[in-house]
Structures are given as C-alpha cells and as structure tokens.
Amino acid sequence: MIKDIANLHAKLQILLARQKNLYNQGRVTNYIPALAEVCPKKMAACVATIDGSSVGAGDYQEAFSIQSISKVFGLVMAMNRIGDDLWQRVNMEPSGQPFNSIIQLEWEKGIPRNPVINAGALLVADVLTSHFSASKLAFLSFMRTLAHDDTIFIDNHVYQSELSHGNRNAALAYLMKSFGNIESEIPDVLSHYFTQCSIAMTCEQLATSLLFLANKGVDPITKKVICTPRDAHRVNAILSTSGMYDQSGEFAFSIGLPAKSGVGGGVVAIVPNYGVICTWSPPLNSFGNSVIGTNLLANLAEELGLSIYH
Amino acid sequence: MIKDIANLHAKLQILLARQKNLYNQGRVTNYIPALAEVCPKKMAACVATIDGSSVGAGDYQEAFSIQSISKVFGLVMAMNRIGDDLWQRVNMEPSGQPFNSIIQLEWEKGIPRNPVINAGALLVADVLTSHFSASKLAFLSFMRTLAHDDTIFIDNHVYQSELSHGNRNAALAYLMKSFGNIESEIPDVLSHYFTQCSIAMTCEQLATSLLFLANKGVDPITKKVICTPRDAHRVNAILSTSGMYDQSGEFAFSIGLPAKSGVGGGVVAIVPNYGVICTWSPPLNSFGNSVIGTNLLANLAEELGLSIYH
Amino acid sequence: MIKDIANLHAKLQILLARQKNLYNQGRVTNYIPALAEVCPKKMAACVATIDGSSVGAGDYQEAFSIQSISKVFGLVMAMNRIGDDLWQRVNMEPSGQPFNSIIQLEWEKGIPRNPVINAGALLVADVLTSHFSASKLAFLSFMRTLAHDDTIFIDNHVYQSELSHGNRNAALAYLMKSFGNIESEIPDVLSHYFTQCSIAMTCEQLATSLLFLANKGVDPITKKVICTPRDAHRVNAILSTSGMYDQSGEFAFSIGLPAKSGVGGGVVAIVPNYGVICTWSPPLNSFGNSVIGTNLLANLAEELGLSIYH
Amino acid sequence: MIKDIANLHAKLQILLARQKNLYNQGRVTNYIPALAEVCPKKMAACVATIDGSSVGAGDYQEAFSIQSISKVFGLVMAMNRIGDDLWQRVNMEPSGQPFNSIIQLEWEKGIPRNPVINAGALLVADVLTSHFSASKLAFLSFMRTLAHDDTIFIDNHVYQSELSHGNRNAALAYLMKSFGNIESEIPDVLSHYFTQCSIAMTCEQLATSLLFLANKGVDPITKKVICTPRDAHRVNAILSTSGMYDQSGEFAFSIGLPAKSGVGGGVVAIVPNYGVICTWSPPLNSFGNSVIGTNLLANLAEELGLSIYH
C-alpha cells in the first residue's frame, strides 16, 4: 500500500526538517519530574500500513513514555473483557472540558464522559484490576503482542514519579468510588493506571501495535483478531470526538483522523483501511498535545489525502 | 452509484415498516405550539447520491420544519462570507453540554463552543444579519439554489410561534452581546434565526441540497462550487463531533456519519464520496433527536456499510 | 442615642482624613460611561440614629448614584405588595458566585438565589412592574417618603447610559422569562430596574431612609410603619449573608453588620436598635465594593462596638 | 440571666411535646450505617446561659454523634494555633452549594469556600494534624475542657463506619492536595477528621462547651480565655452565613442566630451576650439539618426574642 517507500521516507525527512526549530513553541510537560527531563529536540514520525510496510524518520526507534496513549489499549482490553457492560459505567460523549476536570464527573454522578479522559481511563483501569488476576502483566503482555516485540518495558523511574504526583487522579478515583462506580481498592487502581502510563515505546512500535484499528479489528500482519469490527469502529469514533483532549474538535476540523495524544509528546492517528501514523516530539501546546507531533500529522494527512471527512 | 435503485427502494420500505409502531417511544417537541401539532406517525427516508440519483420512501416529499438543520446552511453561508474571521468568534469544539446551555457560554466569555449549538447558530445569524442587506432572502435563495427548487418556503405559522417563545435564545444572544460578540441588534438576529429555522423542506429536498458536502464542496448535479473542499471537510468534522446535540458521541460510536438533527424530527447524514441520507419522524428522544429518524439512519448505515470510522 | 454629637463628628473627620490618599487603591466603575465620570476623590460618611439625630462628614450632602443600594428598597416594596408569594420566585440563600453570574440561575431553573443579586433584583423589578400601574413613580415616591425629602431625583444621564449597556441584565431577565419566572415584558422590567438604579441620593438621605430597618420596620421619626418587624428582620438577614456581593462573608467576618453596597461607591449598614451608617467613595475593589467606604465602616463599627456578632 | 428557670423548663417541655409526632417528616441519615441505627424519636433541647445556668428537656443528657458540629471546635483550635495564616488557605465566604460539593473547590483551585463545609473542615483537620503531635488527643482534651467533663468519648463504632465510607471526603482531600493546599498525608487527615466527627456529646455538654462564643471568647464559668474576642466574632459570623449547609440563608432569614448542625441531628445556636441553645433530633430535612431541631430553635428564638437581626 505504501507504493513508493523511498518517496515517503524522503517526504517524512523533509517534513521533520521543516519542524526542527519549532520545539520552543511548546513546553515539555512538568507535571511529573521524570518526564520533564526529556530532551525537547527529540522528533520522530512513523507510518505503518495494513499491508505490513512501515517507514520512519527521526528518532522513530527511540522509546518514550506513552502516557495517555495507553488509554486506547486499556479501552480495547476492557471492551474485550466485559463487553457492553462497560458502557453502563462510562459514557462515550466528548467532554467539552479540560482533560482532567472533576466538575463533569460530579455533575454526572461519577460516570465519566468517555474512556479517554483521565476519569474514564481510571474507570477502565478499575475494570482491568478487577477482572485480571495480574492486570499490569496482562497489559504489558497485550502491548508486546500487538507490537510484535517482547522488549517493551515499564519505565520504573516514570512510574515512581507518577505515584508520588498522583493526587488529582486519586481525587477522581475516590470521587467515582463515592458514587459506587469503582470496585477495586483505589491504590490498586492507581498503581495499574500509572503502570500502563509508564510504558515506554517507540513510534514504530506504537504505529504497528494499532494497525488492527485501521483493519476492522484484525492485526494485518499476524491475522489475529484483536477485537470485533464493531469495537474497532467504536474506538475510532471515540478517538475522533475525544482523543485530543479539549483540542479534539479542532483536530477533527483541520486534520480529520481518529487520534490520541499523550503528555510524553506522542500522537497516534488511525487511518481506516490504510494504516497508522505515530509522531513524537516532547514540547506540548496549552491543550497538552505535542506541537510538532500535531504539525507533522497535519502535513502528512494533507499530503497523503488521508482525512475521513471528505 | 445507487447501483440498484429498485433494490434500495425495497430496502427503505422494509426499514420504515419495521419502525411503524415505534413513534410512541419519543415525544413530538412542544417547545413551540406550532411544532406540537405535527402528526407523530409521519415517517420518511431519502437517499441522494453524488451521481444524481435519489430514492425515497414514506412521506419523503412532504415538507416539515427543518429547524436546527438550518444551522448547517447558515454555517456554510457565513464561512463563504467572512472566511476564517468566523473562527475568532466561535470555537469548533464539541460542547459536552445540552444543546442550549448558557453555562458554557458564560465560562468561555461569550464564545460559543461550536456553530451548531444554539449559541453558535445565533452568532452565525449575527454574521449573516450584519453582512447581507437582506439576510433572510439571501438565506432562502441559498436553500432554493441548493435544492434546485424555487418552491421552498418559510412557514410563517412556525415563525410566529418561534418569535413568541424565543426567550432562551434571546438570553443567549444578549449574553454574547454583553461580551461584545454580537454586532447587530438582537431582535434582528433573532428574527433572522427564527426565519431560517422556520423553513419547510422535504427529505428529498434536504438530501439533494447537502450533496456538496459529500462531494468536496461542489454540487454534483449543477457542478457549481458551493464552498471550498476545505470548508466542506470542516463542516463534516463539526457535524461528526457536535451535530447530534449531547448524543453526538453515541451517534459517532454506533453509526459513524457526520449528521445534523432538528427538533422538527429531521436528521441529515453526510456520507463523503457517496451522498446524503435524510430521515424524518417527529417524535424525539430525551436528547432532542428523532427516535425513528436515528434508527433508520443506523439501519441504513449498517446495511450499506457507510461509516467513516472503518 | 448619639450621646455626644460633636464627639462623633470629630471622629468621622479623623477617619475620613486617614483615608484621603487611598482613593487610588480602587477603580471607579466603568461599566457604564455615566458613572465613570465621577470624581474618585469624593468621600463621605453619615450616621443616622433611631432617636432622630444624624451626623455627617465630607461630601455627605452630595448626591451620588445609589445603584444596587436601590435593591433594598425594591425588596421592601415587593414584600409589602405580594407578601410571602415573593419567596416562591426568589430564594434567600447566599449566592457563592460573583454578583451577576448567570450560571447559578441556569442551575436553579430561573429562581435567583436571593433578591439582592442582579437576577433577584430583576425579579423584584418584575413584581413591581406587574403590580404597580406606574412602578417607577411609585418607587421614587417611596424613596422620597423614606428620606423625608421630595427633591430626590432620577439621574436621566445615568439612566440612558444604563439602558445602552444593559445586555447582561437583559440576558438574565430573558433567561428567567424562559423558565416562566418573569411576568412583564422584559423591556419594561429593565426600564424599571435601570430607573431605580439611577436614583441619586446623598449619604444623609440614604442613612435616614433606612432607619426603619434598624427599628423593627417603623420610621422612628414619622412613626410610620414601613414594613412588619418580621420583614425588617428578613431584610437584615439577607443583607448580612448576601449584601456585599462575593465579599459578604468577609464583611460579616471583619465588620459584622447587615449592609448593601452599590457600584456608585455607596455602602449602607444597618445597626439594629441603633441606626444606619452610610459611606461613599467611588473607587471600588475587585468585588465591586467601595474601598474607602468599606474601610470607613470597619473603623466606625470597631470604634462604636457595633457588630451584631458579639 | 435565665430569670425564671422553672418557667423556661416548662416552655421547653411544651415546645418538645408539640414536635412529638413530627419525627417522620425527616429521615435519619444513612450515609454511614452506624448513624442509621439511632432511634428517630429521640428529642432534646438545652439552653445554657453565660451566667452559668442551664435548663434542658427531653433526652438532653443523652450523648449523640456530634458530626459536623465538631467543625466549630476544630476551627477555633486551628485559629488559636496558626492565627491569620489559616485565612491564606481557606476562605470565609458562604458556599452557595450543597455542603460537600467538589465543583467549587475545583473552580477555586483547592481553596475551600469556608471552614465549615466539608472541604474546609478537612483543611482545618490538616492544620491540626500538622501542628499537633497527637491531634486527636488534643481535640478530645479541648472538648473535655470546654464541656467541663472528662467523660466525653470517641464513639469507635461510628469512627469505623466513617472510615469505611469516606470516599467522598478522600476525593476532596486529594483534590486539595493536588493544588498544594494539604500538608499531611491524606490518611492521617481523614483519620483525624473522622475521629472528631465521631465524638459523642449531650445537648447539655454541647451548649456548655460553646458558651465562650457568646461571651467574647471567655468561658463564663471558668473565666478561661478560649479565644480572642475577635476570633469569637469571626466564628459567629461564619456560622451565621454558612453554618446550616445550603439552608444557611433561610435559617438567618427565619431564625437569625449563628448556628451549626450535624448529620447526627444536633444543632447548636449561639446567642451573643446571652448563651447557647442546643437541640437534637435525628431525622434530617433535604438540606441535612434536623427537622425538629430546627423547629425547636425557631420556636425558642421567637419566644425569647433572640435574633441578632433586630
């Protein structure tokens, strides 16, 4: 499907070169010390397609903290595990609020707006904690399977840093528990959640691991069924309306792909029937999305004509 | 493109027949008396495709009040008239709030979340009122051009009813004006807005009139450029994240098409590179969307495999 | 009761002299042009007691725009006119929100939190507009009776300025009307409200006119019953919890008297069984309360030992 | 000061008799099991005056869970300990929100509106936990000193019940910690808070223990200075605007005394320069205040003419 790999590779390099000096238009996250240490000049893009090809440029084989991108994988695991029961406990509407707002949660009696805001991802973490005997291992194993790579690891330094700065997530979790919407003990839920956020992966691994969402639930390389076509559809829909925090609407408006970002600076975008694009650059804009990562996606989507909205 | 018109026609009839007894699962809107009078058993579906074909079933040639579906047309007119200046005055994010909430508007200092909630549509109405010498006529003329039908009319009975029940919209408009985000006089803005909401159209006319959004901005029948490809993309993106009030996420999740509903019971859905589906049935669910209209869309999208998310 | 008038007069002069250079710690309101023109160095204090004495200092015989202080008088008129029916339409709880917030009103379905925030005062204005054939004249007449002074007037320059900057109050009024909580036409309600806000009075007149609230509802000079003892109690309670906008709690905490301020820079404080203090200085703090006016009240209350909380 | 003790005693008995059948107009709290077990027909009133007299009726010598009434004592301890630094971390404005709302706390960046809503009381608990080596013992000892009674005890059954139903308070505490407004570890803060809530006292003990607030900070019986006159004033002011949850305004409006209620069914009211009234009856109204307890206070305040607002 990538008809001319050399050509795409050249394109990626040109696009990256153009962004080289823009790293100071954003700020590396500092909400946890471990992430604040990352070099702001790191930059990468990788395109993986459902025919099994992949092309990368920049630091696309360097692992970074996937952070909120892990929410996509957690969601798929939970959907697989408990089916539609999940949607009794979390909604699928865009939030219209900054990503970690507690206000919405209070209004809506402990039901998170969707599974890719923090409250929703904590709820998903509760599902996993309650339904797997060793949810952290299961999660890591799921990632390794999807990326076809057993070297994927949990960055313990990041994990420890998360743990000691997790008061806001604790507040969200206790609030949901007070509404009866959390089953496990909060420390266990938080521990699972921070573990999955602390996984380190490369752009290439991330792009590969999400190909099933572009391919109706089937890993195009191993032919393994990862989820139902319906659930692949649903995840793409949720990422389209809610994947880029409170910039999701603008991202749809100007780029037009289901996507998820993380405060580690990574962004993944699903192109149905085509493949997955993953970009990385640590400096974030005011919405918590990678400045350069978003720019790269916009340029690539435009050049390759990949939007789902026309 | 509709390869087998007879076949699709039969399909539509079967789908309608299945919904026949569901009209009492919703309620005909009663926020204005004129709309409360509509027969709850009316039901229609029409598919128009970019090759110029169209197939309808039920009351698809009976005019109903387009209400909020008019927001789509107003948005296109305003984009055409003032270009990107529009996006200084209205955002493009999903609202995460019931469709006429004044709270968000207050928080965000008079900048509506997007142009298809009431506050945003009133802002668009202000743009039209300020930039056209006779904005109501210009609007009606635009509709007639798009639908290729000069008989389209404003239902004056509905208009008068809107006018005398417009206090909430007046509140939204005055609030925006207090933040300096409305230029015209409020009574003029409201008069324009209620006029465009009071236009009566059939499913067939609505489906035809929106074909340009499925065709990169070009009316596929007349070949006229209605808007830029970019703006067609943007409108589809906004409809995908925000077109179905506070059920937009669920609509994307389960159906997967850019769409807009109105409290008159109409729903339009854009299928990029294919065509437009318009359904109609007056009884609404708790979100303000047509119960049967939404069901019909879901069935059609599923049968024809039309979602943008896979 | 003012045992030593000469002594109190001297005290007032000393207190005013101490505040002389503090006028630049606040800002003269500029929400309407007419009020922005007032000299920021004006300053006055007047104490009237229920034995009929009164002592003033500074510009205490110069008229200023009473603005929100008029809410106290409107409330008393409405209580007298419709009795406890009033409390079906307005609550008596502190608002916990900036004085003109529309959010609370939306949450609580068009029922204002209390009658001395803007929404509540507009509701009271609706009661007066609906129940008096000439509510503006009735209001002015009430003020003249209370102040024993037929020269009290409406400042038409201020009134016109209010009218052309009343969008936010219009939004509040239309929102309440949309909930069915306003009976009259909005332009009539606004016209009444802006009229009562535009009345000009001196500190001496204001202090005198509110003596009945310190005297169980009876004007101590004319012996006329202005309201029931119960209603005098209720007004004092409302002023104690809500009279100073979102600084009401701090005012109770540090000064401890039922009080009402206006953006014209006036502040009135009721001392049950003693009298009324009125101060005036146009520059306002961030809460909309007169900086110097509040300081003067604090000093006087302390020196005379007037708090109701010990 | 209680001129005719026999007379007052008779009065109390008549008032209690009148309320006898009203216990089913409210509901005994069920937010923790331990409190749900209390007999709904219990009823008591006690008046203690600053001359050292006290008169009680009904179950006024039976201990009940003081719950939120403990917030008053915690506040005094914290004011004594850290002085005005306290007001950097908690505001003194009425909340205008149900008593445990997390929304306000989020809006105002972790600064509670006042020290007698749950968030504020948790902040005060943090101050005590951080500044006393054994804050629970110090608290109990403070209560025993004030009540002149060393038998006052912590109800361990209630404490355990609180601990296992404290998720909402944990959410509030973690949210404040995320804003940097909590110093101690959350489990310690919660443990202290639940301990003070679990203290059991009688109406007579409570009335006696708060006499210092009616007497400018001095225990009228032991002549000990419990707090400064200024702080007694401040506590009374806060109780007047915020002591009765979201019914504080109505309580001021109709009764007119600084007061604090607890979900155990107790209510205390301070009458400056006179004394303290304490009532008890477990069934609560929708605001969380004792139905009969409030009625009794209203009747007593009216008969004895005790309001501070006239």
Question: Is the pLDDT reported for residue C115 higher than 60?
Answer: yes
Rounded to 5°, angle at Cα B142 from B1 and B49: 5
Residue A46: which H helix or E strand, with range? strand A44-49
Residues of A in contact with D174 (CB under 8 A): 167-168, 170-171, 174
Report how many Cβ contacts below 8 Å link chain B to chain C. Answer: 53
Name the percent of chain D lying above pLDDT 70: 98
Closest C-alpha to D239, from D55, D111, D116, D145:
D116
Which residues of B are annotated as catalytic?
A: 68, 71, 193, 245, 263
Tokens coding B41: 């058993």
Q: A253 and B234 in contact by Cβ < 8 A?
A: yes
Residues of B in contact with C167 (CB under 8 A): 174-175, 177-178
Residue D249: which H helix or E strand, with range? helix D248-254
Tell whether A238 lies on the interface with B, counting CB pairs under 8 A: yes
Q: Stretch C161-182: mean pLDDT, rounded?
A: 96
The beta-carbon neighbor of C93 closest among D104, D229, D246 is D246
Tokens coding B214: 């499925």
Q: Using an 8 Å Cβ cutoff, are C212 and C218 in contact?
A: yes
- What residue ranges do the domains of chain D occupy? 1-310
Rounded distance, CA A49 to CA A69, Å?
19
Residues of B in contact with A258 (CB under 8 A): 309
Instruction: Sheet containing C64-65: give its strands across.
Output: C64-65, C199-201, C153-154
Q: Which architecture does CATH list for D1-310?
A: 3-Layer(aba) Sandwich (3.40)
Contacts of C171 (CB under 8 A, 6+ apart): B102, B170, B171, B172, B173, B174, B175, B177, B178, C102
Q: Using an 8 Å Cβ cutoff, are C123 and C116 in contact?
A: no
The beta-carbon neighbor of C240 closest among D93, D240, D254 is D240
**Could you tell me how far CA B124 lies from the centroid of its own chain?**
14
Distance from CA of B215 to the nearest CA of A (A): 7
Q: How high is the pLDDT of residue D121?
A: 98
Q: How high is the pLDDT of residue C36?
A: 92
Domain C5-65+200-304 annotated CATH 3.40.710.10:
yes
Q: Using an 8 Å Cβ cutoff, are B241 and B294 in contact?
A: no
Q: Decide if C5-65+200-304 and C68-197 have a common fold.
A: yes
Tell whether B209 lies on the interface with A, counting CB pairs under 8 A: no
Question: Is the pLDDT reported for residue A99 higher than 60?
Answer: no
Give me the residues paired with residue D259 across strands: D269
Among the residue ranges A119-123, A281-285, C96-100, the one predicted with the least confidence is: C96-100
Q: How high is the pLDDT of residue D117?
A: 94
Which residues of C are annotated as catalytic?
A: 68, 71, 193, 245, 263
Q: Using an 8 Å Cβ cutoff, are C59 and C44 in contact?
A: yes
Q: Stretch D241-262: mean pLDDT, rounded?
A: 96
In DSSP notation, chain B reads: --S-HHHHHHHHHHHHHHHGGGGGGSB---SSHHHHTS-TT--EEEEEETTS-EEEEESTTS-EE-GGGHHHHHHHHHHHHHGGGHHHHS--S---S-TT-SHHHHHTTT--S-TTSHHHHHHHHHHHHHH-TTHHHHHHHHHHHHHT-TT-EE-HHHHHHHHTT-HHHHHHHHHHHHTT---S-HHHHHHHHHHHHTEEE-HHHHHHHTHHHHTTTB-TTT--B-S-HHHHHHHHHHHHHHTTGGGHHHHHHHT-S-EEE-TTSEEEEEETTTEEEEEE-S-B-TTSSBHHHHHHHHHHHHHHT--S--
Q: How high is the pLDDT of residue A86?
A: 98
pLDDT band at C104 (very low <50, low <70, confident <90, very high): confident
Q: How many residues does chain D have?
A: 310
Pairing of strands B64-65, B153-154: unpaired
CATH topology of domain A68-197: Beta-lactamase (3.40.710)
Give me the residues paired with residue B61 across strands: none
Distance from CA of B178 to the nearest CA of C (A): 5
Tell whether A211 lies on the interface with B, counting CB pairs under 8 A: no
Mutation site, D99, D102, D184, interface A, largest A CB count within 10 A: D102
Question: Is the pLDDT reported for residue C197 higher than 90?
Answer: yes
Q: Using an 8 Å Cβ cutoff, are A265 and A290 in contact?
A: yes
Tokens coding C121: 């005062």
Mean residue pLDDT of chain B comes to 95
Tell whether D289 lies on the interface with C, counting CB pairs under 8 A: no
Tell whether A90 lies on the interface with B, counting CB pairs under 8 A: no
The beta-carbon neighbor of B92 closest among A93, A97, A253 is A253
Residues of B in contact with A249 (CB under 8 A): 91-94, 114, 237-238, 241-242
Its sign, for the CA torsion A200, A241, B232, B15, is positive
Name the percent of chain C lying above pLDDT 90: 91
Phi, psi of A177 (to 5 degrees): -65, -35
Q: Stretch D140-144: mean pLDDT, rounded?
A: 98
pLDDT band at C98 (very low <50, low <70, confident <90, very high): low
CA dihedral of residues A61, A64, A68, A72 (deg, nearest 10): 30
Contacts of C189 (CB under 8 A, 6+ apart): C122, C125, C126, C129, C173, C182
Note the pLDDT tens digit of each residue in C228-285: 999 999 999 999 999 999 999 999 999 999 999 999 999 999 999 999 999 999 999 9
Question: Is the pLDDT reported for residue A56 higher than 70?
Answer: yes
Q: Stretch A153-157: mean pLDDT, rounded?
A: 97
Tell whether D31 lies on the interface with A, counting CB pairs under 8 A: no
Give me the residues paired with residue C261 across strands: C267
Q: D101 and A106 in contact by Cβ < 8 A?
A: yes
Tokens coding D218: 């001095």
Tell whether B181 lies on the interface with C, counting CB pairs under 8 A: no
Domain A5-66+201-304 annotated CATH 3.40.50.970:
no
Tell whether D156 lies on the interface with C, counting CB pairs under 8 A: no
Closest C-alpha to C258, from C191, C197, C210:
C210
Note the pLDDT tens digit of each residue in B169-199: 999 999 999 999 999 999 999 999 999 999 9
Q: A96 and B97 in contact by Cβ < 8 A?
A: yes
Distance from CA of B160 to the nearest CA of C (A): 17
Q: Stretch A131-148: mean pLDDT, rounded?
A: 98
Residue D259: which H helix or E strand, with range? strand D259-261
The beta-carbon neighbor of A168 closest among D107, D178, D186 is D178
Q: Stretch C158-179: mean pLDDT, rounded?
A: 96
Q: What is the ipTM of this complex?
A: 0.95
Question: Is the pLDDT reported for residue C200 higher than 90?
Answer: yes
Residues of D in contact with C307 (CB under 8 A): 233
Place of tokens 């179905």: B244
Rounded distance, CA D131 to CA D123, Å?
12
Question: Is the pLDDT reported for residue A1 higher than 60?
Answer: no
**Residue C83, Cβ neighbours under 10 Å: how many?**
11
Catalytic residue among A184, A245, A274, A290: A245
Pairing of strands C275-280, C44-49: antiparallel
Give me the residues paired with residue A228 across strands: none
A57 CB burial (10 A radius; 0-12, 13-18, 19+)? buried
Kindly report the pTM of this predicted structure.
Answer: 0.94
The beta-carbon neighbor of A308 closest among B92, B96, B308 is B308
**Could you tell me how far CA A179 lies from the centroid of its own chain?**
27
DSSP H helical segments within chain A, as ranges? 5-19, 33-36, 70-82, 86-89, 103-107, 118-131, 135-147, 156-163, 167-178, 186-197, 203-209, 211-214, 229-242, 248-254, 291-304
Rounded distance, CA C12 to CA C27, Å?
23
pLDDT band at A106 (very low <50, low <70, confident <90, very high): confident
| B5-29+40-64+201-304: CATH number | 3.40.710.10
Q: How high is the pLDDT of residue D6?
A: 83
Residue D123: which H helix or E strand, with range? helix D118-131
Q: B241 and A96 in contact by Cβ < 8 A?
A: no
Closest C-alpha to A189, from A234, A268, A226, A135:
A135
Q: How high is the pLDDT of residue B189?
A: 98
Q: Stretch C4-23: mean pLDDT, rounded?
A: 92
Tell whether A126 lies on the interface with D, counting CB pairs under 8 A: no
Q: How high is the pLDDT of residue B100?
A: 59
Distances (CA, A) of D123 to A175, B242, C309, D109, D175: 18, 40, 24, 13, 11
Name the percent of chain B lying above pLDDT 70: 98
